[in-house]
Amino acid sequence: MMLNPADDTFAATLRDLLPGDLFRAPEPRHLEEPRSRFTGQCGVLACPRDAGQVAALVRAAAQARVPVVPLGGGTGLVGGQVMPDGPAPLVISLERMTAIRAVHPRENVAVVEAGAVLADVQAAAREAGRLFPLSLAAEGSCRIGGNLSTNAGGVNVLRYGNARELCLGIEAVLPDGSLWNGLTRLRKDNTGYDLRDLLIGAEGTLGVITAAALKLAPLPAETGTALIVVPSPEAALDLLALARDRLGGEISAFELISGVGLDFLAEHLPRVRQPLAPRPGWSVLIELGMAAGRDPQAALENLFAAAMEAGLASDGVIAQSQAQREELWTLREHLPEGNRLVGAVSSHDISLPLGEIPGFIARAGDAVAALGDFRVNCFGHLGDGNLHYNVFPPKGGNRADHAGQAGAVQRAVHDLVHDCGGSFSAEHGVGRIKVGELERYGDPARLAAMRAIKAALDPAGIMNPGAVLRA
Amino acid sequence: MMLNPADDTFAATLRDLLPGDLFRAPEPRHLEEPRSRFTGQCGVLACPRDAGQVAALVRAAAQARVPVVPLGGGTGLVGGQVMPDGPAPLVISLERMTAIRAVHPRENVAVVEAGAVLADVQAAAREAGRLFPLSLAAEGSCRIGGNLSTNAGGVNVLRYGNARELCLGIEAVLPDGSLWNGLTRLRKDNTGYDLRDLLIGAEGTLGVITAAALKLAPLPAETGTALIVVPSPEAALDLLALARDRLGGEISAFELISGVGLDFLAEHLPRVRQPLAPRPGWSVLIELGMAAGRDPQAALENLFAAAMEAGLASDGVIAQSQAQREELWTLREHLPEGNRLVGAVSSHDISLPLGEIPGFIARAGDAVAALGDFRVNCFGHLGDGNLHYNVFPPKGGNRADHAGQAGAVQRAVHDLVHDCGGSFSAEHGVGRIKVGELERYGDPARLAAMRAIKAALDPAGIMNPGAVLRA
């Protein structure tokens, strides 16, 4: 089915329907994505003030068969937020819909508009003595509508779940321009199909999320952080099981760090202090969040002693102050920058069944080595089975020299992930970059069902064409 | 679109395709539901051994346009498991597909076939030192496929979530007979639309769930139970917030009990010991599950002291032994039997935003009183905002005398629930009993999207016709 561009005639139609100040000239930030793989087009940029205006925009686009690209903070890593080709779209930026409508501390719920910046939602929760647990690198600029549309993950998924699990209800404009008020604050509601979870993670291809009711949690009164050296990824998994048995739901993060990542920091970011010498081959960063009256340092000391006795740890640091906690987290948070400075040949945001991880790491190392002389930095959210498995040139080498091998590396890694029952996109989504991977690895019955759902809800194919499914 | 009955010709077609011993004469249990509102029909009963056979059955039904009713344990309370009219269906009972395929204790995952009885899944987890937290009255006979298809709730939702949140992946036969292998053990997987959550809670209208990968949790090493008298539902909510701040994720259950429910037990089940005299007007049953080394009794004593000081509690019992724990739970678990013996005029499985509950209870009491002389037993999973709000004849009265008022009572209660932003079906689902309620209270844009999805995935309308959506 052919779509039409958001041209001057369409722009005039919109101006007849809606206040003129909704329409702005696009800035570079409306057309860029962080990895610079694509540059977006924009026929018309609209910045609506409320869901009714979003509905009017989508209704007009549906009538005129004009593509619509919903835009949040624009921080997505798979190109879901930019449409580089085809008829120029109507870009609907949620940047004016940033209200925190309500915080209900006793209910542990916040109701926010989709354009609210994640850090502002976190701050509003904290002011009410509550935690909004979604936390990720882009939190200062990503917007909650985008977090939900991509089902964002981050460092606290182990304990609190990803964006989908942190959402009770959404308000959304469907592809025909109808407004669904699903902004419920209910924990239980079994009245038909789960349209909420269908729109969450649909990356703007089934509608525009305009507001959400989010789950909050108690603010942990006490926190503790440790960096523990483990002999192997296998031991890291056993340590995770041990920690869970002892500390249940008090573990907020359990991050695997590889020696290669620490080498990169030493080479390129020597100002980042490394607390352990020699730099360990494998280590885990554990964070505990506990209620008042609990003693996370003692809990970490007991865990460390038990891990030593079981041969699961050989060294470690337990933070004794807030400054030491921050130092350990600084180390973790600079790993992506270290990667960027070295320059990856190919990066992979993968997940695996926990039990398959040690075998995968061994086999993937062999598979990558068979393709050439590379360095692998494998790190990430071990508690969720989510690894960032990134492949780099050898020391002194340059990614440009290996550009021709990137495809083969990615294929080898993703084939192995698939073979181990894993996913080629754990938290970043499909966007436009991974459409081919979804076609290659997706279950055929599921793909057919996805296409049928897309065609049923968006028969003209106007919503974010080319994302997730081929247009 | 007209459907055809599962007649002798269709039966013969199936026997040509599949082993003859898959087909059995239906027994009463295949055609009944617990509330005896409907009696099911059955043209052919098939008891397949594996997902491939389920797929062959559905494929044949799709070709012949014969309705299909998937059957688990048959314990659902809204008639989703029986088709009382229209062309006689093919009933596919999952009763032979009961295997616990694997338990992965280190991963906290169990992979089970859809026909596995919930109690058997719980037992398999426990044998591996793990907890499968889904727990509800019918657990001795309900099957996990039905639990997922109805997104079952129960007493542990507050801490662990409902069935949807306890499921990582499913295998399912879609309405065209295609087999979707979505049996992933992944915690994170952002590769397209959430078909899993769409089938969960679809009550068999979008396909047949044949297996599931389920989340397990650590077995709490220490448990503690208390019954605390509160001055009002408002105070119960404040006590919940206080308990959450102090004990975070260690609260496994937080159940509201009304004095009317205790009166019913005293009248009809005097053998159930009541630990508090006089019987309190409002009380809450709190259960803690804690890791080894923690002291739940001390935690409950501290909570109780703080609640007394804040005016949130006036009396209470903290179980000092396993026998006392069981006694408190026996009280809670007999409330439904007490209700049954009194005989409700109208029962309501509702949920509300937590903050709306006190106002709802006051207003609903007035609304019901305006309709006649009734007794209300309002109890349930307060932590989830899920109340069982049941309306009974006055003392000495009989439900039969009030049968003519049942509709008006239900309308008054559900209108008020809707007005408070609540749900007319918190955990039981829509089934066939609540199709009209969904049409009345459902958001029109969402209902249109549900119908579009149903038509897209099941164009002939063979899957459980008449459940959730009008056929």
Annotated domain spans of chain A: 100-218, 222-419
Query: What is the CATH topology of the domain spanning B222-340?
Result: Alpha-Beta Plaits (3.30.70)
Q: Using pLDDT thresholds of 50, 70 and 90, give the confidence band for residue A154.
A: confident
CA distance B462 to A353: 35
User: Among all residues of chain A, which has the CA nearest to that of B159?
Assistant: A249
Chain B nearest CA to A143, separation (Å): 18
Residue labelled with tokens 């005039």:
A12
User: Which tokens in the block code for residue A225?
Assistant: 């952080």
Q: How many residues does chain A have?
A: 471
Residue B429 has pLDDT above 80, yes or no: yes
Residue B198: pLDDT band (50, 70, 90) is very high
Burial (CB count <10 Å: 0-12, 13-18, 19+), residue A304: buried
Using a CB-CB distance cutoff of 8 angstroms, which residues of chain A are in contact with residue B292? 245-246
Q: Taking CA atoms, what residue in B is nearest to A291? A: B246
**For the domain with range A100-218, which CATH number is right: 3.40.50.300, 3.30.160.270, 3.30.465.10, 2.40.50.100?**
3.30.465.10
Please give the average per-residue pLDDT across B439-463, as a whole number.
98
Chain A CB contacts of B455 under 8 Å are 456
Distance from CA of A429 to the nearest CA of B (A): 5
Cβ contact B3:B465 at 8 Å: yes
pLDDT reported for residue B249: 84
Residues of B in contact with A355 (CB under 8 A): 104, 106-107
Could you report the per-residue pLDDT of A312-335, keeping only the tens digit for each? 999 999 999 999 999 999 999 999
Minimum distance, in Å, between the CA of residue B21 and any CA atom of chain A = 28
For A220-279, give the DSSP string.
PSEEEEEEEE-SSHHHHHHHHHHHHHHHGGGEEEEEEEEHHHHHHHHHH-TTS---SSSP
| Bond before A444 cis per omega within 30 degrees | no
Q: Give percent of chain A above pLDDT 70.
A: 100
| Separation of first and last alpha carbons in chain B | 9
* d(C-alpha A253, C-alpha A251), whole Å: 6
3-state secondary structure of B389: strand
Third-level CATH fold of B343-419? Alpha-Beta Plaits (3.30.70)
Task: Write the pLDDT tens digit of every residue in B137-149.
Answer: 899 999 999 999 9
* Residue of A176, A187, A246 best to disrupt the B interface, most CBs of B under 10 A: A187
What's the pLDDT band for A103 if we cut at 50, 70, 90? Answer: very high
pLDDT at residue A222 in the model: 93
Quick one: which of A51, A53, A139, A144 has its CA closest to A100?
A144
pLDDT tens digit string along B451-462? 999 999 999 999
The identity of residue B189, as a single letter, is: D
pLDDT-derived band at B245 (thresholds 50, 70, 90) equals confident
State mean pLDDT over A125-147.
96
Say if residue B1's pLDDT is above 80. no
Mean pLDDT of chain A: 96
Contact B191 A241 (CB under 8 A): no
Residues in chain A with CB shorter than 8 Å from the CB of B193 are 198, 201-202, 206, 449-450, 453-454, 468
The dihedral formed by the CA atoms of B261, B263, B267 and B271, expressed in degrees to the nearest 10: 80
Confidence of residue B248 (pLDDT cuts 50, 70, 90): confident
Q: Which residue in chain A is spatially nearest to B179 when comparing CA positions?
A: A445
Percentage of residues of chain A with pLDDT beyond 90:
94
The partner residue sitting opposite A104, judged by closest CB among B158, B249, B355, is B355
Taking an 8 Å cut-off on Cβ atoms, the answer to whether B188 and A381 are in contact is yes
Q: How far is B234 from chain A (nearest CA, A)?
A: 11
Rounded Cα–Cα distance for residues B157 and B349 (Å): 15
- Closest-CA residue in chain B for A246? B291
Handedness of CA B8, B13, B14, B18 (dihedral sign): positive
pLDDT bin (cut points 50, 70, 90) of residue A396 is confident
Question: How high is the pLDDT of residue A245?
Answer: 86
Residues of B in contact with A293 (CB under 8 A): 246
How confident is residue A249, by pLDDT bands cut at 50, 70 and 90?
confident
DSSP H or E run through B325: helix B322-342
CATH fold of the domain at A222-419? Alpha-Beta Plaits (3.30.70)
Determine the pLDDT at residue A1.
Answer: 63
Instruction: Answer whether A452 sits within 8 Å of B457, measured CB to CB.
Output: yes
B447 CB neighbours in chain A (<8 A) are: 192
Output the pLDDT for position A286: 97
| Angstrom distance (rounded) from CA A226 to CA A242 | 15
The Cα–Cα gap between B110 and B124 comes to 9
Look at A106 and B220 and tell me if their CB atoms are within 8 Å: no
Per-residue pLDDT at A35: 87
Inter-chain residue contact B188 with A455, CB threshold 8 Å: no
Q: Does residue B407 surpass a pLDDT of 80?
A: yes
- Please determine, for the modelled complex, whether the ipTM score is greater than 0.90: yes
Pairwise CA distance, residues A327 & A421, whole Å: 36
**Interface with B, mutate which of A188, A254, A349, A419 (most B CBs under 10 A):** A188
Mean pLDDT of chain B: 96
**Span A198-241, pLDDT tens digits:** 999 999 999 999 999 999 999 999 999 999 999 999 999 999 99
The proportion of chain B whose per-residue pLDDT surpasses 70, expressed as a percent, equals 100
CB contact under 8 A, A245 and B218: yes
Decide if B381 and A188 are in contact by the 8 Å CB cutoff. Answer: yes
**C-alpha to C-alpha distances, B70 to A417, B38, B93, B163, nearest whole angstrom:** 34, 16, 6, 18
User: A288 - beta bridge partners?
Assistant: A224, A251
Look up residue A463 and give its DSSP letter: B
Give the Cα separation of A7 and A4 in Å (integer).
Answer: 8
Least CB-CB distance to A248: which of B202, B218, B453? B218
Contact yes or no for B153 and A188 at CB 8 A: yes
The one-letter amino acid code at A267 reads E
pLDDT in tens, B350-375: 999 999 999 999 999 999 999 999 99
Is residue B158 scored above 80 in pLDDT? yes
Q: What angle do CA B251, B254, B255 make, to 5 degrees?
A: 160
Q: Which residues of A touch B293 (CB under 8 A)?
A: 246
pLDDT value at residue A413: 98
| Residues B401-416, mean pLDDT to the nearest whole number | 96
**Domains B222-340 and B343-419 belong to one CATH topology:** yes
Q: Do A178 and B352 touch (CB under 8 A)?
A: no
Burial group, residue A322, by CB count within 10 angstroms (0-12, 13-18, 19+): exposed
CA distance B352 to chain A (A): 6
Per-residue confidence (pLDDT) for residue A155, from 0 to 100 = 85
Q: Both tokens of residue A75?
A: 């921080």
Residues from chain B that touch A439, judged by Cβ atoms under 8 A, are none
Pick A194's closest partner by Cβ from B200, B241, B444.
B200
